Structure 1
Amino acid sequence: MQTLYMDYAATTPVDPAVAEKMMQYLTADGCFANPASRAHMLGWFAEQAVEESRLTIAKSVGCDLRELVWTSGATESNNLALKGVAETRKAQGRHIITSAIEHKAVLDTCGWLETQGFEVTYLKPDSTGVISVEQVADALREDTILASFMWVNNELGSINPVLEIGALLREKGVVFHVDAAQAGGKVVMDLANMPIDLVSFSAHKIYGPKGMGALYVRRDPDLKVAAQIHGGGHERGMRSGTLPTHQIVGMAEAMKIATERLQQDFDHLTTLRQQFWQGISVLDAVSVNGDLESGYPGILNVCFAGVDGESLLMALKDVAVSTGSACNSASVDPSYVLSGIGLPRDKALSSLRFSWGRFCTAEEVEQAIASVTRAVTALRS
C-alpha cells in the first residue's frame, strides 16, 4: 500500500537536484575536504563551495553573506539567537517577549532563560493564531531586551505581522528574532530592508538535508551574539565546529530552487488546499483551526468534531499526517498550540494537521479526501 505523504510541515523529501549536488561533496572523487583546511588546494575548494553557498542563500533572502552563520538547524539557530542575545544584553535588562504558541525550540529556550534570572512574557494569540502589534506594544517594558515570534506557525499556518512588529521594536531599541523555519524559501524576504535583527532558517523544510540550518545576524555594532558552542572560533566566533560542506551546498541548492519556484509552489499549494478543503468540508461538524484565507496554504489544521484525533490517525493507514508538531507527537495531551488559540480540549483532541508540498499531486489529494471521508464516517458511526 502506497502512503500518501501529507506531513510536509514536519519535513520534506530532499529534492533530487539537491541530492545530486550534495553527492559531489561526499566521496573521494569529489570536494570532500575540510573547508577549514587552508594548507592545501582541496581545503580551498571546499571553503569556496561553502562561501558560494552562503552567497546563494544571502541573495535568496536579501542580506549580506557575512550576516549568515551556519548551524545544525532552526533549533540551534533559535538557541543561539535567544541565549546569545540574552547573554550580551543582560546588563541592559532581563525581560523577553514571545508568544505562547511558538515552537518548542523557542519556548524551551525561554524556559531555560527563566532559570537564569530572565523574565519572559508569553503573549496569547487571537483565535487564528496571530499576535498583534498592539499586544507587543502593551507588553514592552523599560527592561525589555528581546522579542521572538515565528513568521509562519508550524501547526496552523498563521502568519504573524513581523514587519509591523519589527518596526515597533526597532523604534524601541529591542532586538527582534524571527523563527522562519516554515517561512524560509516560502515567502518573499528582503532582510536588508526589513526591521528584523535575527532570523532562523532550516534546510529540511525546503527540500534540503536534515541537520542543516542558518542564523541571520544583522550587521550592527550594537548587535552581538554570544557563542553557545565553543572550539575553534568558526563562523566569526559565533558557532564553532567543522562545517559539513555537503549539507551546506545542499541547503543552498534547496534555497535557490525554492526562491526560483516560490510563486509556482505557492500557487500549487493553494490549489491543493482548496481541493482538499472542498472535498472534506461536506462532512458534518468539520472546521478549520486558524484562518483559511490568510494562512500559509501549505498547512491546514482541521477539527473533526466528535472524532478522536489519535483514532483517526490510526484509521488513516495510507495517509501520513499528524496531530501537530513532530516534536510533540509522543504526547497524548492536546496540542498546546490549539489550546493556546482557545480551542476546547475535546476539539483540540479531534484535530489533525495536513500539510502539502512540491511533490504532492491532485490525484493524491483526491485519494486522501476519500480516505478521510471513509475513516471519519466509520468512527462516527
Structure 2
Amino acid sequence: MQVGDTIYLDYQASTPVDERVLKVMNAASTALFANPHSADHVLGWRAGAAIEAAAHQVANLFGLQGDDVIFTSGASESNAMAIHTAVEVGRASQRTELLIGVADHGSILTEAKICPLDVRKIPVDNRGAPNSRCLDGMITDVTALVSIIGVNNENGAIADLKDIATICRKKGVLLHVDLAQAPLAMDIDLLELEVDFATISAHKLYGPKGIGALLTGPGVSDLVKPVIVGAGQQAGRRGGTMPTELIVGFGEACELVKDSGLAERARVSAIRDRFVKILQEKQIASLIGSQECRHPGNALLRFPGQNASELLGRLQPQIAASTQSACASGSIEPSHVLQAMGYDKMIAAECIRFSFGRYSTIEQADAAVAVLENAFEAA
C-alpha cells in the first residue's frame, strides 16, 4: 500500500480498513442507527439482529458460536478483562498466581503490574515464542490463569497453541491467549484447541478501530468479569451501548479473512521473503528469529551499526515502519521483546519491524529496498 509518497510497511500496528468493510459499515450507519438495545420497536430489533449476525461471523473465524463473543472497545480492554477474570477466579478458588509471557503485549504487562495476584513470567524459546517446556514446570496448584501471546506483535513468532493448551488442560488451569495478530497468520479453531479465553481486535484484520472482542470457550463465559459494567448489556459481561456500525464492520472483516486468508498469507509471505532476502544479500540487514512458524507479513530486521530510530527518521516520508510495537513507539527503552529473546540493549536499538499485508506488492517491497540503500549511502 502506498499513501502519497509513503510505502506503508506497518500492518502489524494497524491495517487499513478494507473497502468492502467500509461499504457494509456505511450501509449500517444509514439503516441501523437505532440503539440495538431498544427492545420495543422494529428499528432496535433490526440493529440487534445485525449485531447477532456479525457475532456469528466473528465466532465462525475461530470455530466458535455467536454467544461466545463478547464485544469490547479493542484488544487492550479484552486483555484487561482476562486479567480481571483471573483475579476473581483466584479469590473464589484461593489461587494466588498469574503466569504471563515475558514478551507479551504491553497491555497485558501493564495490567499484570497492577493486579493483586503474584505474577511470574514465562520465558521465550529460541524463536521468541512462549516456551511451553518452561510453562509446564511453572504451573502450580495456586495458578489462577496462564496468559500468553499467540502471535508476537514484534518478532512475529507463532506460539505452539496446541501444546500450551494441552499443558493447561492437563493441569486444570485456565488459559487466555492474545490473538490480536493471529487471524492473518494462521487458521484457528479455539474449540478444538480448548482455549478458554482469547483476545481479538478488528483493526488488526482490516476492520475498524475501536472494536474488539473477548472470546470464551465452553463453560467459562459466566466467569468473565467486565471492566465496564454499564447497565448489564451483553448478558452482564460487558456494559455500554453496542456500536452497531463497528460490529458489522468487524463481522465483515472476519468473513473476508475466513474466505481468502490462506491465499493471502501465501502471497504476503512471498513478498516479505523477497524483501528480507534482498536486504540480507546486500548485507544491509539480518532477520531476527526464524522464518518458520512466523507471521507471514513480519520482518523484524537488525541493521548493524545503525540506530533504528535515527534510520527511520532518514526514511521519512518514504517508508512507514516501527522500531517496536505501536503501543511502545517513542519509548526511550529498547524493545522488551528483543531483550526477552536475549539481545542486549545495543542490538535491540538497531532493529526495525517491517510488516506487509493485503495491499502490499512486490513493487513496493523493491522500492522500499531502494530507499533503504539510499539512506545508507547518504549516512
Question: Counterpart in 2 of 1:135?
Answer: 134
Does the 8 Å contact 2:184/2:265 carry over to 1?
Answer: no
RMSD of aligned alpha carbons:
1.4
What percent of counterpart residues are identical?
34
1:24 alignment counterpart = 27
Displacement of 1:90 in angstroms is: 2.2
- The aligned residue for residue 60 of structure 1 is 61
Q: CA deviation at 1:20?
A: 0.7
1:162, distance to aligned residue in structure 2 (A): 1.2
Structure 2 CA distance, aligned partners of 1:105 and 1:359? 28
Q: Which residue of 2 aligns with 1:205?
A: 204
Report how far residue 221 of structure 1 moved: 5.8
Change (3 A) 1:221 1:130: closer
- For residue 96 of structure 1, what is the aligned residue in structure 2? 98
Corresponding position: 1:178 with 2:177: yes
Q: Is the Cα–Cα contact under 8 Å of residues 102 and 150 in structure 1 kept in the other structure?
A: yes
Query: Which letter does structure 1 place at the counterpart of 2:81?
Result: L
CA distance in 1, matches of 2:264, 2:96: 41
Residue deviations 1:117-143 (CA, integer Å, cap 9, x gap) = x10111221332022221111111110
Letter in 1 for 2:364: E
Query: What is the correspondence of 1:234-313 to structure 2 with a 5 Å cutoff?
Result: 234-284=233-283, 286-313=285-312
Q: 1: CA distance between counterparts of 2:18 and 2:175? A: 32
Question: Following TM superposition, by how much is the alpha carbon of 1:285 offset from its aligned partner in structure 2, in angstroms?
Answer: 6.2
Report the alpha carbon displacement of residue 59 of structure 1 after superposing the two structures with TM.
Answer: 1.5
**1:340 offset after TM fit, Å?**
1.2
Partner amino acid for 1:83? H
Runs of 5+ unmatched residues, structure 2:
none
Aligned to 2:15: 12
Equivalent in 104, 107, 110 of residue 109 of structure 2: 107
1:100 positional shift: 1.1
The number of aligned residues is 374
Cα distance between partner residues in 2 of 1:341 and 1:13? 30
What TM-score do the two structures reach when normalised by structure 1? 0.95
CA contact 1:88–1:225 (8 Å) conserved in 2: no
- Is the 8 Å Cα contact of residues 283 and 373 (structure 1) preserved in structure 2? no
Aligned to 1:333: 333
Q: Which amino acid aligns with 1:271?
A: A
Hey, what does 1:87 align to over in structure 2?
A: 88
- TM-score, normalised by the number of residues in structure 2: 0.96
Question: How far apart, CA to CA, are the structure 2 residues paired with 1:223 and 1:161?
Answer: 27
Contact 2:196/2:220, CA 8 A, preserved across alignment: no
| 1:64-115 Cα shifts (integer Å, max 9, x gaps) | 21111010111111111111232133232011111111001111111111xx
Residue aligned with 2:365, SS: helix
Aligned to 1:337, what secondary structure does the other structure show? helix
> CA separation of 1:194/1:25 partners in 2, compared to 1, >3 Å: closer, same or farther?
same
Find the counterpart in structure 2 of residue 375 from structure 1: 375
Q: Does structure 2 conserve the Cα–Cα contact (< 8 Å) formed by 1:146 and 1:174?
A: yes
Q: CA deviation at 1:185?
A: 4.8
Counterpart in the other structure of 1:51 = 52
CA contact (8 A) 2:89 2:144 kept: no
Partners of 2:222 and 2:161 in 1: how far apart?
A: 19
Distance 1:267 1:69 in 2: 31
Give the letter aligned to residue 171 of structure 2.
K
Residues in 2 aligned to 1:185 and 1:324: alpha-carbon distance in whole angstroms: 19
In structure 2, what residue type is equivalent to 1:305? P
1:156 has 2:158 as partner: no
**Contact 1:12 1:208 survives alignment (8 Å):** yes
The residue identity in structure 2 corresponding to 1:258 is V
Q: Moved runs in structure 1, 4+ residues, more than 4 A? A: none
Task: Flag the 1:102–1:168 CA change in 2: closer, same or farther, 3 A.
Answer: same
Aligned partner letter, 2:157: S
Offset, 1:197: 0.2
1:325-355 alpha-carbon deviations (Å, 9 max, x no partner): 0011121221111111111211111110000
2:297 and 2:110 mapped to 1: Cα distance? 26
